[in-house]
Amino acid sequence: MKTLRWSLLWTVPAVVPALMAQPAGFDPVLARDLSALCTTHTFRDLYGSDEAIMPAGYERLHTSAPRGMDNLFQVFRKGPLGVIELRGSTADPLSWMENVHAAMLPARGTILLDGRPFDYHFADDTAAAVHAGYTLGVAFVVDEVLEQLLLLDRQGVHDIVITGHSQGGALAQLVRAHLEHLPVDQVPVRARFRTYAFANPMVGNAAFAREYDRAYCSSGTSFSIINPEDPVPGMPLAYHDHRIFSAATLNGMASGQDGYDMRSLARSALFRMFRGTVTDLAQYVSSSVEKRIARPVGEVKLPPYREEMNYVPMPGRVPLAPFPYPLILRDSTILTNDSLLRANPRDEQGVFLNKELYRRAPGFYQHKPYNYHVAILRRWFPERYGALRVKVLPENL
């Protein structure tokens, strides 16, 4: 079992630029706790335990088995508050395919999962359209979520927050919308829902976002907490938490490299699709993904795709400052070389003026869940931030 290395890191000073006022109803204390719960997966994966990140007072009641496209959720309770936390992307190829399955579906329809119908309802507007992969993610987990809501209701827990980071944030928004549209006899009548989505990609078109905004954001019950430097909130497709979606990646998948078995994809078609429209690209990839996921989850039949690819950012945004990257020298031997020290002046704090001497942040550094948690401490809880022993996980450097 790995142990967390509580080493001190040399970080950039915590200067927070002026940010937009937070929306009405937003609770920084709750956001702090939820961002920690979203980071429990990272701590268990890296260190074998999430004890160091668990917020005080929360009890884990349930962890679902991975299902569908490696979707999983946790249930927590703190007194009268219940939390449904949906896991973000994993290294499993199926989880990656959920992200790139980005053709648009009508926001209301029926999916057949191995012959079993799943009626989803995210919006009433017939112009509203949503992300196909995330709609599938909802289909795989929502029945078990409903079971857990009924158990919470029997315990007297009616204040429910749905949360998640990255893919989990997108699922949190769609799960909320689906639950709110279910018949009253299928959802605990006393349940009151809120949504806190962290680093979520876009999940629908403008019609969907408008209806979601009117129904949940305007009432101060749904928030999208994002770092403007994080690339994922601007992505409807073409990303994965570990590497960028590209022609080279697709070619590797088609040829059986990188552990992907995508023999149903024709190599010639892979390159033809990059010359088509964005809509054609999304629909081609989504059709290929459907064939791939049929092996582990059974046949999937979706409603006809919409002839559009018009994702917009989700409303209710709460911006965070970009996450500072520690000053780490590319070559630390410069500190023992007098001639190099003389040739590279430093400021009064001892920082080299030539920033090329320092490492650059990895591409998805601004997306990491622990960094979101730390940024929330930095903005709203400066004393806790100052006392934090590890401001950047070593594995994220």
Would you say residue 123 lies in a domain?
A: yes
Would you say residue 132 lies in a domain?
A: yes
Token pair recorded at residue 363? 């591409």
Give the phi and the psi of residue 277 in degrees, each rounded to 5: -75, 165
Q: Structural domain tally of the chain?
A: 1
Token pair recorded at residue 360? 């650059």
Parts of the chain with a pLDDT under 50: 1-18, 237-276
Would you say residue 348 lies in a domain?
A: no
Range of the structural domain that residue 242 is part of: 28-323+362-390
Longest dimension (CA), the chain: 77
pLDDT of residue 321: 93
Q: Of the candidates 84, 36, 94, which has an alpha carbon nearest to the alpha carbon of residue 61?
A: 84
Residues 6 or more apart whose Cβ sits within 8 Å of residue 94: 68, 69, 70, 292, 293, 296
pLDDT of residue 232: 92
pLDDT of residue 92: 87
pLDDT of residue 377: 97
Would you say residue 141 lies in a domain?
A: yes
Residue type present at position 144: E
Give the phi and the psi of residue 217 in degrees, each rounded to 5: -75, -40
E-strand stretches of the chain: 59-63, 73-78, 81-86, 104-106, 108-113, 116-121, 129-131, 159-165, 192-198, 222-226, 300-301, 317-319
Residues 6 or more apart whose Cβ sits within 8 Å of residue 365: 323, 325, 371, 396
Would you say residue 357 lies in a domain?
A: no
pLDDT of residue 132: 94
State pTM to two decimals.
Answer: 0.84
pLDDT of residue 100: 83
Would you say residue 338 lies in a domain?
A: no
Strand partners, 12: none
Token pair recorded at residue 83? 């939390």
pLDDT of residue 12: 41
Give the C-alpha separation, 361 to 397, whole Å. 7
Would you say residue 257 lies in a domain?
A: yes
pLDDT of residue 130: 97
Q: Of the candidates 199, 186, 203, which has an alpha carbon nearest to the alpha carbon of residue 107?
A: 203
Q: What is the CATH number of the domain that holds 310?
A: 3.40.50.1820
Would you say residue 19 lies in a domain?
A: no
End-to-end CA gap in the chain: 21
